[in-house]
Amino acid sequence: MKVKICGIRTVEDALSVIEAGADMLGFNFYPGSPRYINPGDCMDLVVQLETALREEIYDVTLVGVFVNQDPEFIHAVFRDCHLDLIQLSGDEPPEVLEALGERAFKALRPESVEALHEAILRYPPHPAAPGWLVDSYRPGSYGGTGEVGDWGIARVLAARVPILLAGGLRADNVAEAIRQVGPWGVDVASGVESAPGVKDPRKVREFIRAVRSFQQETTSWQ
C-alpha cells in the first residue's frame, strides 16, 4: 500500500513525511491551490532533499501535480525538478496525457459509475504510472477540498487496475476506505494539515500509522 502526501512546500515537510514512512511526495504546480509551489522553489527543495538524503536509503517517488497547463511547461518542470511522475488533475484532453508519455497519469473525479466508465475510456493508463487517481467529485474543483468521495465508485475501478484513492482521507477513516475500495495507494493533503498548505507532523504520522496498522492486521488474517 503506497502512501502519497500531497502539497509539499518545504524541505522540512518533505523530510518529515519521508521519515514518517511516506512513499510518494506530491508537489502542486497549480497557482490556484493553497498548496502551490513555484517551479524554482521546487527545484531548490529537491536539491536540498537529495543532499539531505544522500547518506540515507529511502525509496520515495516525486509527483508533480498540474492543472490545465501547457505540456511544454509540464515537461520542463518534470525535468528540472527531477520528478518521477506527472499527475494531471484538470480538464486536460486525452491528447495531453498521451503527449506527456508513460510517466503521466490522470486524476478522475467521477460523479457516477457511468461517468467513471466514460473517463477511463478517454484516458487509457500508461504502464509505468498508476492507473488513475480517483478523487471526490465537486463541481468546479480540482481536488484538495477535504470532502470524502464515493468509495463505491472508486471500488469499481480498483477491482480492475491499480489506483490511488484520494478525497477527504484522514487517520480516522483511511483504514475503512482501504477496506472498502482496495486501492494500490492512498493520497492525502488536507487530512494531514493544521491549515491549508501547512503539514502537521503529528497528523502525518497518525495517518501513515493507520495505513500500516491496517496492512498488518490484514496480513495476519491471511
CATH assignment at residue 172: 3.20.20.70
Q: How far apart are CA 62 and CA 35, in angstroms?
A: 15
Question: Please, how many CA atoms are within 13 Å of residue 166, restricted to the half-sphere of its CB?
Answer: 30
pLDDT means per 10 residues in the chain (222 residues)? 96 95 97 95 96 82 97 97 96 94 92 87 85 79 67 90 93 96 96 93 98 80 52
pTM above 0.85? yes
User: How many structural domains is the chain composed of?
Assistant: 1
What would the pLDDT profile of 66-95 be if each residue is shown by its tens digit?
Answer: 999 999 999 999 999 999 999 999 999 999
pLDDT of residue 42: 98
pLDDT of residue 139: 57
CB atoms within 10 A of CB 10: 15
Its domain, for residue 39, covers 2-221
pLDDT of residue 40: 97
pLDDT of residue 49: 93
pLDDT of residue 94: 94
Residues 44-79 as b or e (16 or more Cβ within 10 Å = b): ebbeebeeeeeeeeeeebbbbbbbebebeebeebbe
Q: How far apart are CA 118 and CA 4, in angstroms?
A: 26
pLDDT of residue 176: 96
pLDDT of residue 28: 97
pLDDT of residue 179: 95
Task: Give the residue numbers annotated as catalytic, written as ranges.
Answer: 6, 135
pLDDT of residue 145: 60
pLDDT of residue 138: 67
